[in-house]
A = this chain, B = another copy of it.
Amino acid sequence: MDEITAETGTGAGRRTRSEGRGAAARRASRSGGGAGPSMPYIQRKIPVYEVLDEEGLEIIERNADIILEEIGIEFRDDAEALDMWRAAGAEVRGERVHFPRGLCRALLKTAPSEFTWHARNPERNVQIGGKATVFAPVYGPPFVRDLDGNRRYATIEDFRNFVKLAYMAPSMHSSGGTVCEPVDVPVNKRHLDMVYSHIKYSDKPFMGSVTAPERAEDTVAMAKLVFGDDFVENNCVTLNLINANSPMVFDETMLGALKVYARHNQACVVSPFILSGAMSPVTVAGTLTQILAEVLAGAAFTQLVRPGAPVLFGTFAASISMQSGAPTFGTPEPALVSYGAAQLARRLGLPFRTGGSLCASKVPDAQAAHESANTLNMTLLAGTNFVLHAAGWLEGGLSACYEKFMIDQDQLGMMQKMAIGVDLSEDGQAMDAIREVGPGAHYLGCAHTQANFQTAFYRSALADNNSFEQWEIEGKKRIEDRANALCRSWLDSYEAPPLDPAIDEALTAYIARRKDSMPDAFT
């Protein structure tokens, strides 16, 4: 395990660097799966892959318009939202909003196609949209699979650990949001600890709480203590996950959070959460049609709240087993859905979110890896701008898994290298090397190889490429054993990024005051 020996224990997540972008290839190759200097968000130089032609896209867009006009989208338990739609010219029947042809698209003209998501360390700022791809960790699991192989409820300690790991992972560009549910903290207070953990233990951009409007307000208030009031009102410092209640419903909770964030100019990721066959038709085209209608309605609503507020076209796509009703991941149909949704988002001019490292497996085995890899390869090639669940997702999202987090983040490094594409410079063409070596010789020692080998190939810190005999001598370890060891070594060597003590105190005081104002609630 030469790679592990070479890379572990550097604890370089602690370093902040201000290198130029020219070193991207070197870093993408070298820092591999080991903790190393964080890499900037991905700027894709490879093309996108598209599964729909113009005719197919037009069919889906036309059908989505029919949904919006004739069937309508429900905005539930939110009279304010219905009033806003009425004022905008929509026809509201009960809680069902019917949109005149073209209304949503017209509203979305004010939404930015690209924007900066600010981190408290400006070197960690990321771009959302265009050719940028940003990875964020798993979101939402109530359970963890811990380093002793136990599956148990997640705690605030687990939450902090995943924030630390995401901070140290070179190709994780964001600290994420609910990296797991800290169920040992009262449900009405845990958002305060979560947001604080992101700020305290990482300096990468983080996501806000969406489970109630007042928790969204807390998120914004805490962000203001870090970034300043004016900065927050004029810049995106949180990205916030607003799921549609598919099919064709937005509920009070999501609308409440959406309104808070959009009003404060914070980004909403409007994401139909689709298990095809249950929340959408069993077909790819039908699912895409419904997704487009839902996003058009939800995203346009952000522009009613505040024209110009950043908003993403989100898609969470899985299928259900028609035998058991269980969700399935990494299968062809959700991949086709996501590829198609990315195309629809580009045509709308909205940044796009989908994919990740999704799986149904209960352990980080080959099932988990196949499902995750099928999803992640699609995620990159679709041209996804924001990738939630990029590492650590296990068991249909019910568990955050430490070992899988490590395995996944290694794969994120591969995707980051892949995105650089083919170097066609003189050096990349390597004609000197080919002339120097000639037929029948080898390239190991030639000048070109010596000059380039540090940057040539992605180096995994977890893959075992040794001989069978060497692997046997080293204890016949599986990748999750190596991931376990690497994870422990990262957590041992973690060092927090500097945080202004005055800001830390202000945050702590805010949290204490807010917690004191509420009784504990656990449901």
Q: Are A66 and B377 in contact (CB under 8 A)?
A: no
Q: Are A2 and B439 in contact (CB under 8 A)?
A: no
Partner of A283, one of B290, B456, B480: B456
Chain B residues whose C-beta falls within 8 Å of the C-beta of A108 in the assembled complex: none
Among residues of B, the one whose C-beta sits closest to the C-beta of A75 is B439
CB of A63 within 8 Å of the partner chain: yes
Q: Are B366 and A435 in contact (CB under 8 A)?
A: no
Q: How far is it, in angstroms, between the C-alpha of A63 and the C-alpha of B3 when the chains are bound?
A: 34
CB of A121 within 8 Å of the partner chain: no
Within 8 A of B (CB), among A344-367: 360-367
**What is the total number of copies of this protein in its complex?**
2
Q: Are A431 and B289 in contact (CB under 8 A)?
A: yes
CB of A151 within 8 Å of the partner chain: yes
A124-159 to B contact mask, C-beta < 8 Å, 1/0 = 000000000000000000000000000100000000
Q: How far is it, in angstroms, between the C-alpha of A368 and the C-alpha of B437 when the chains are bound?
A: 33
The interface stretch among A50-58, A263-271, A484-492 is A50-58
Q: A283-B430, A322-B457, A373-B373 are in contact. Are A365 and B47 (CB under 8 A)?
A: no
CB of A79 within 8 Å of the partner chain: no
Chain B residues whose C-beta falls within 8 Å of the C-beta of A96 in the assembled complex: 439
Q: Are B247 and A438 in contact (CB under 8 A)?
A: yes
A295-322 to B contact mask, C-beta < 8 Å, 1/0 = 0000000000000000000000001111
Q: Are A439 and B73 in contact (CB under 8 A)?
A: yes
Q: A366-B366, A373-B374 are in contact. Are A456 and B277 (CB under 8 A)?
A: yes
Q: How far is it, in angstroms, between the C-alpha of A463 and the C-alpha of B454 when the chains are bound?
A: 38
CB of A72 within 8 Å of the partner chain: yes
Chain B residues whose C-beta falls within 8 Å of the C-beta of A424 in the assembled complex: 55-56, 59, 285
Q: Are A367 and B248 in contact (CB under 8 A)?
A: no
Partner of A457, one of B151, B333, B421: B333
Among residues of B, the one whose C-beta sits closest to the C-beta of A414 is B332
Q: Are B49 and A467 in contact (CB under 8 A)?
A: no
- Tally of contact residues, A, Cβ under 8 A: 130
Q: Are A431 and B478 in contact (CB under 8 A)?
A: no
Within 8 A of B (CB), among A166-194: none
Q: A278-B443, A371-B463 are in contact. Are A430 and B322 (CB under 8 A)?
A: no
Q: How far is it, in angstroms, between the C-alpha of A15 and the C-alpha of B463 when the chains are bound?
A: 41
CB of A103 within 8 Å of the partner chain: no
Chain B residues whose C-beta falls within 8 Å of the C-beta of A378 in the assembled complex: 377
Within 8 A of B (CB), among A43-89: 46-47, 49-52, 55-56, 59-60, 63, 66-67, 70-74
CB of A327 within 8 Å of the partner chain: yes
Within 8 A of B (CB), among A234-283: 245, 247-249, 276-283
Q: How far is it, in angstroms, between the C-alpha of A432 and the C-alpha of B228 when the chains are bound?
A: 51
Q: Are A421 and B479 in contact (CB under 8 A)?
A: no
Partner of A74, one of B440, B453, B480: B440
Chain B residues whose C-beta falls within 8 Å of the C-beta of A460 in the assembled complex: 328, 331
User: Which residue among A398, A442, A476 has the maximum number of chain B CB atoms within 10 Å of its CB?
Assistant: A442
User: Which residue among A55, A322, A364 has the maximum number of chain B CB atoms within 10 Å of its CB?
Assistant: A322
Partner of A453, one of B322, B324, B417, B449: B322
Q: How far is it, in angstroms, between the C-alpha of A286 and the C-alpha of B281 when the chains are bound?
A: 47
CB of A422 within 8 Å of the partner chain: yes
Chain B residues whose C-beta falls within 8 Å of the C-beta of A277 in the assembled complex: 443-444, 449, 453, 456-457
Among residues of B, the one whose C-beta sits closest to the C-beta of A331 is B458
Among residues of B, the one whose C-beta sits closest to the C-beta of A472 is B362
User: Which residue among A249, A336, A422, A424 has the maximum number of chain B CB atoms within 10 Å of its CB?
Assistant: A422
CB of A466 within 8 Å of the partner chain: yes
Chain B residues whose C-beta falls within 8 Å of the C-beta of A395 in the assembled complex: 468
CB of A116 within 8 Å of the partner chain: no
Chain B residues whose C-beta falls within 8 Å of the C-beta of A509 in the assembled complex: none
Q: How far is it, in angstroms, between the C-alpha of A46 and the C-alpha of B407 when the chains are bound?
A: 30
Between A and B, 10 residue pairs with Cβ closer than 8 Å are A63-B431, A71-B438, A283-B428, A286-B431, A324-B465, A332-B414, A332-B458, A365-B479, A365-B480, A373-B374
Question: Which 10 residue pairs of A and B lie closest in terms of their CB atoms, listed nearest first?
Answer: A286-B430, A373-B373, A369-B369, A281-B430, A248-B439, A282-B456, A332-B418, A366-B369, A367-B479, A326-B465
